[in-house]
Amino acid sequence: MKNIYGETHQQLEQYFLDLGEKKFKATQVFEWLYEKRIRSFDDMSNVKKTVIDSLNKDFVMQPLQIMDVLTDVDVQKYLFQLSDGEKVEAVLMKHDYGNSICVSTQVGCNMGCKFCESGRLKKRRNLETYEMVLQLLMVEEQLKERISHVVLMGIGEPFDNYDNVMHFIDIINHPKGMAIGARHITISTCGVIPKIEDFMKEKRQVNLAISLHAPNDDLRNQLMPINKAYPLKKLIPVLKEYVDETHRRLTFEYIMLKGVNDQKKHALELAHLLRGINCYVNLIPYNETSHIEYAKSSKEQILNFYDTLKKEHINVTIRREFGSKVMAACGQLRSHYEEGK
């Protein structure tokens, strides 16, 4: 049986039409699931018994299992076990503008970025839509507060699980679902060009972030194997087209790696690469792990990089550091459990 939390409003409408029922029952079900947060179909007091019987026959409401929660200042990291025993992470961050959650989209990742803990353990499978939705629901339940912002930047490459990710967004964005505004949802991709082109055609108001991390193809080839398939010389023109077509500002994520990509020459090259694109650069202090040899750039070096971009008229921010005590790197808590440490 399918998990009900993986069904979009449109899919439930079709389900009820196929049953010979009115499609408005999809709205009723969404209200019970996401507004009233019931745990059993039998609790739907305004839905007739024959419909409840059909739901019980065709769907389950099985939650994920929370294996561990690590807490630091303004951050909580959750480790979930899925029904097949696989594990993924989600990270809740408290900001002055609300609660933001970073969700995983895959069990492991095949992108193989050299600095990334998530990709060290290869992709086992895509997450199903319901497994992404339940990350939000279960964290909200634990937190007893609303989540207002969602970032698909945890374990996995979201555009390598495109259809399930789009269904996930449909559910959390729907006014009778979790009602999270499209402009409060961000997809982060390392640059899967065909899927960026597909996403462009959808004309969604969802934010797009590009994991860049290098200002030229030679360095990016060393750090991110995907660049050999989709190099910057092909990616940048597609991103310019994306901005022109959608009128949406891009974010470029840039992890600061000591002595690798953090010199003034890199900042100047980055400014040249991005000039004329409606975007901003998010400089990310690196989260070091015991398995990977890269180190975090010094605060002074990050500020110098920031100042160079500013002088070159590039919009730039420095991401606030979260979770130094909770295995902050994406995939770090999962690998800790997977490898039995």
Tell whether 29 and 97 lie within a shared domain: no
Tell whether 88 and 210 lie within a shared domain: yes
Tell whether 110 and 22 lie within a shared domain: no
State whether residue 58 is helix, strand or coil. helix
Tell whether 76 and 50 lie within a shared domain: no
What pLDDT is attached to residue 233? 97
How far separated are the first and last CA of the chain, in Å rounded? Answer: 35
Tell whether 230 and 332 lie within a shared domain: yes
Tell whether 34 and 90 lie within a shared domain: no
What pLDDT is attached to residue 251? 98
Tell whether 213 and 327 lie within a shared domain: yes
Helix axes 9-18, 162-173, angle to 10 degrees: 90
Tell whether 39 and 129 lie within a shared domain: no
Report the amino acid identity of residue 96. D
Q: DSSP labels for 139-206?
A: HHHHHTS---EEEE-SSS-GGGGHHHHHHHHHHHHSTTTT---GGGEEEEES--HHHHHHHHHHT---
Q: Which two tokens stand for residue 144?
A: 């007893």
In the chain, how many domains are there? 2
Q: Pairing mode, if any, of strands 106-107 and 125-126?
A: antiparallel
pLDDT in tens, the chain (341 residues): 999 999 999 999 999 999 999 999 999 999 999 999 999 999 999 999 999 999 999 999 999 999 999 999 999 999 999 999 999 999 999 999 999 999 999 999 999 999 988 766 789 999 999 999 999 999 999 999 999 999 999 999 999 999 999 999 999 999 999 999 999 999 999 999 999 999 999 989 999 999 999 999 999 999 999 999 999 999 999 999 999 999 999 999 999 999 999 999 999 999 999 999 999 999 999 988 766 889 999 999 999 999 999 999 999 999 987 655 555 555 556 555 555 54
90, β-bridge pairs: 78, 103
State whether residue 52 is helix, strand or coil. helix
Tell whether 204 and 93 lie within a shared domain: yes
Tell whether 166 and 313 lie within a shared domain: yes
Q: Give the domain extent around 333.
A: 65-338
Q: DSSP labels for 262-303?
A: -SHHHHHHHHHHHTTSSEEEEEEE----TT----BPPHHHHH
Tell whether 329 and 277 lie within a shared domain: yes
Q: Is 211 exposed, middle or buried (0-12, 13-18, 19+ CB in 10 A)?
A: buried
- Length reported for the chain: 341
Report the CATH number that the domain containing residue 9 is assigned in CATH: 1.10.150.530
Catalytic residues: 89, 330
